[in-house]
């Protein structure tokens, strides 16, 4: 019987052993390499329709499990900040949320980005607040859904996965807080909810989207040029509360008594959602005069949904000799003008500084 030489047997055994060992070790090595390459992104869940299934709200962990392909894109972890409708978040929680995000980036240098879930009703306000108070150029992406998890056609998991992809995308860095729904990326400063029910509700109207999220990649077309995030001067690290600022709409025959009542109840600022490019109505001028005489800032915005209130009108009220208390909102929507005014007053800015802020942010 033919016998293979011992040396050859040893050699083949050695080669086979090494080869088999290499093959066995390769998946583990590849997995480790892939784990190191994938960006680390954290989910901070606050609630909203995206979580509001029949019988109880989805937790942060359940939201993460709703995306089977998530591991292809990121190393994800999550935390539950709140689990309520967006309109139930308090201003104190806003401050806590901004501090939580800032602290997460400070404590974990490996963290590439943060995704925040929010109800859509006041999502644009929360996103703009974070745009002014999160002090990093790393991506913060706010995501929601128009349908709840118990509804046929629930788009929450798809929006959330796209939010993670945007947060992990290197090109998202330095673009401010981003809002991602319906395959579109919008700037927190510009986006607004335009429809109570439709999936395409979040739009930036005359400005357009920053980019899109497609199956192959994240694509950007432009950036927002106003100051935000890492360039922001607003520091909320030790801020205990935000001052009261009320939004009052201009409509035919409106009474100035509402402005006076807001001032008497402690408002430090008033935002007028004016008709057209700044018009008031009824006795509202009397209310404005009363406000500025009490040292309350009055910011004029427009209720039209787009357009700019010129800063050249700043400095004096229409019937007031009190300098600096009339501010032009530029192109900020009334609810976002309120956010900026709250932070400006909290920073003890005077009228000239507040007008500068509205021009820059």
The pLDDT assigned to 35 comes to 59
pTM: 0.89
Enumerate domains of the chain plus CATH numbers.
37-231 (3.40.50.1170), 245-360 (3.40.50.40)
Residues 177 and 140 sit within 8 Å (Cβ to Cβ): yes
| pLDDT tens figures, 16-60 | 343 344 444 455 544 444 556 899 999 999 999 999 999 999 999
Cα–Cα distance, 255 to 248 (Å, whole number): 10
DSSP code at position 183: T
Active site residue 280: no
Q: Is 113 a residue whose pLDDT tops 70?
A: yes
Residues 148 and 154 sit within 8 Å (Cβ to Cβ): yes
| Paired strand residues for 47 | 84
Pick the closest to residue 312 from 327, 297, 299 (CA basis).
327
Cα–Cα distance, 113 to 102 (Å, whole number): 11
Cα–Cα distance, 226 to 360 (Å, whole number): 6
| pLDDT tens figures, 219-262 | 999 999 999 999 999 999 999 999 999 999 999 999 999 999 99
Pick the closest to residue 148 from 9, 51, 29 (CA basis).
51
Report the run of H or E that residue 184 belongs to, with start and end. strand 184-187
Cα–Cα distance, 296 to 163 (Å, whole number): 39
Write down the catalytic residue from 11, 19, 46, 49: 49
């Amino acid at each position: 019987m033919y016998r293979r030489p011992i040396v050859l047997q040893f050699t083949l055994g050695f080669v086979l052993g090494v080869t088999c060992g290499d093959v066995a070790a390769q998946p583990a090595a590849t997995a480790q390499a892939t784990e190191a390459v994938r960006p680390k992104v954290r989910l901070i869940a606050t609630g909203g329709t995206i979580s509001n299934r029949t019988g109880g709200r989805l937790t942060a962990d359940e939201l993460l499990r709703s995306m089977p392909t998530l591991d292809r894109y990121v190393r994800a972890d999550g935390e539950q900040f709140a689990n309520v409708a967006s309109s139930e978040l308090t201003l104190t929680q806003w401050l806590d949320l901004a501090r939580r995000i800032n602290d997460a980036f400070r404590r974990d240098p490996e963290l590439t980005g943060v995704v925040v879930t929010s109800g859509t009703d006041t999502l644009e306000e929360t996103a703009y607040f974070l745009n002014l108070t999160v002090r990093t150029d790393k991506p913060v992406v706010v995501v929601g859904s128009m349908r709840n998890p118990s509804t046929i056609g629930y788009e929450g998991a798809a929006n959330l996965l796209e939010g993670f992809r945007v947060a992990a995308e290197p090109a998202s860095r330095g673009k401010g807080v981003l809002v991602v729904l319906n395959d579109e990326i919008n700037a927190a400063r510009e986006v607004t909810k335009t429809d109570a029910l439709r999936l395409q509700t979040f739009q930036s109207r005359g400005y357009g989207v920053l980019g899109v999220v497609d199956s192959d990649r994240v694509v950007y077309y432009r950036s927002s040029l106003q100051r935000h995030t890492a360039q922001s001067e607003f520091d909320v690290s030790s801020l205990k509360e935000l001052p009261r600022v009320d939004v009052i709409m201009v409509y035919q025959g409106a009474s100035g008594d509402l402005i006076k009542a807001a001032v008497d109840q402690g408002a430090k600022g008033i935002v007028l959602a004016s008709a057209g490019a700044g018009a008031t109505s009824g006795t509202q001028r009397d209310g404005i005069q009363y406000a500025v005489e009490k040292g309350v800032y009055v910011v004029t915005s427009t209720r039209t949904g787009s357009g700019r209130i010129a800063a050249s009108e700043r400095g004096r009220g229409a019937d007031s000799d009190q300098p600096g208390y009339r501010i032009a909102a530029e192109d900020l929507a009334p609810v976002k003008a309120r956010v900026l005014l709250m932070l400006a007053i909290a920073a003890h800015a005077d009228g000239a500084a507040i007008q500068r802020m509205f021009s820059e942010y």
